[in-house]
Amino acid sequence: MDGRNSPWVWLRPGMHVKRWLALLLAGIVLISLGLTYLLRQLYVELTLPPVFYYLTLQFLSRPARAILLGLLGMGVVVLALLQINRSLLKPFISASQGDVAERIYQHHRRRRGPKIVALGGGTGLSTLLRGLKHYSDNITAIVSVADDGGSSGKLRQATGMLPPGDIRQCLVALSEEEGVTGQLFQYRFGDQYGLGGHSFGNLFIAAMSDIAGSFERGVVESSRVLAVRGRVIPSTLKQVTLAADLRVENAQNGHGWQRVVGESAIPAARHEIVRVFLEPDTVPAYPEAVKALLQADLIIAGPGSLFTSVLPNLLVPGIAAAIRSSRARKLYICNVATQPGETTQFDVDAHVRALRQHVGDLFTTVLVNDHILPSQGEMAYLEPVALPAQQPEDYVLLSADVVDQERPWRHDSAKLAQAIMSIYQEPAS
């Protein structure tokens, strides 16, 4: 029999069942004692037919009768509880969702999981969250609000709301069931509807924000619709624009400088990024984000676009200050492949140097992929991020196989989460 489907699975630590089962058994014992006193009194006062000699097992010794009846009673109680459980929960849990006891056990285990705060945006952050949600329900995703491209940019320009795109992706990644509802939130309208480029999830968050009265409340209500494990919050509630100073090569002067404004315009410029910064650069951090960072057990930056997803969060002064003050373990996850227009020809050391040039040594532990696979097909131009030639002295480099076999330019959610939890469980040096 599969151990997960065994009746004994209900007795595992953390199920929160044994205490109530013991109380139930205590009640049954009290009822049995009451019936025993009554039957004994009737047995003494009444003359019973001889058949009762066999019905009451008097041909056995009293210890033997006690053991036999006790085992029979326990078997009946367990069978009854399992059948009641199956009957009551069957309408609410489909067969595809697995064994009920296993789901309850995993639920309680995740509730006791570490407080994890992940900062970033785009596909990288959602990939990370998709794996971490199996280990903890105490996850806070802090998302950049500098996005100005695609559907998010259109909504931001038309309504003045914060860009919902990265938040939508994180909500879907943390969803209890990434089924039809998740696909619905990711659905992108075609031009035939007059909503070309917009995703349903972005429009839903925009509508919910209007109904709830604020963007942050709209995200909370959207989380409930998707049954999100954890929460997704912006790094700031103020409108910010990401800008960059680029080094531009030209034939006359050898090189020059160019300033580009707008998150989507920075990688499109295809020039070396010297620095990125926010306009305005003094926006206050969202208080809930600061609180989550200060209470965290583990803070993770990345994976994701270094200059346009990870750094925009860290450039909010209150966010960087909270990370520095937090007693949590801090981990930077380096991308598995370089990104044209941002990190072309960057190795791991170059990623760390760029991070430190902007926000200092907030992260002294770095997780990298050590199973190098070349990208193929349409993504063949993407280069794997190379490991340092020697062990770095100014940060701790940890490596593991965290690459997606099918898409070697991305992390594998399950591998990445497992590697992170292994690092978290190791004693701090």
140: helix, strand or coil: strand
Position 134 scores a pLDDT of 92
- What whole-number distance in Å separates Cα of residue 120 and Cα of residue 130? 14
Q: In sequence order, which residues have a C-beta less than 8 Å from that of residue 94 and are 6 or more positions away?
A: none
pLDDT digits (tens, 9 = 90+) for 276-327: 999 999 999 999 999 999 999 999 999 999 999 999 999 999 999 999 999 9
Contact present, 333 and 300 (Cβ < 8 Å): yes
Q: Is 332 helix (H, G, I), strand (E, B) or coil?
A: strand
Alpha helices, DSSP H only, in 113-243?
Answer: 122-132, 150-159, 165-173, 180-186, 200-212, 215-225
Could you report the per-residue pLDDT of 56-109, keeping only the tens digit for each? 777 788 788 788 888 888 888 778 777 776 666 666 555 445 565 666 666 667
For residue range 372-414, what is the model confidence (pLDDT) as tens digits? 988 887 788 889 999 998 889 999 999 999 999 999 999 999 9
Contact 348, 265 (CB under 8 A): no
Single pTM value for the model: 0.79
Strands of the sheet containing 272-279, edge to edge, are 254-261, 241-250, 272-279
Q: How far apart are the first and last CA of the chain?
A: 43
Q: Which domains does the chain have, with CATH numbers?
A: 3-103 (no CATH), 109-243+273-425 (3.40.50.10680)
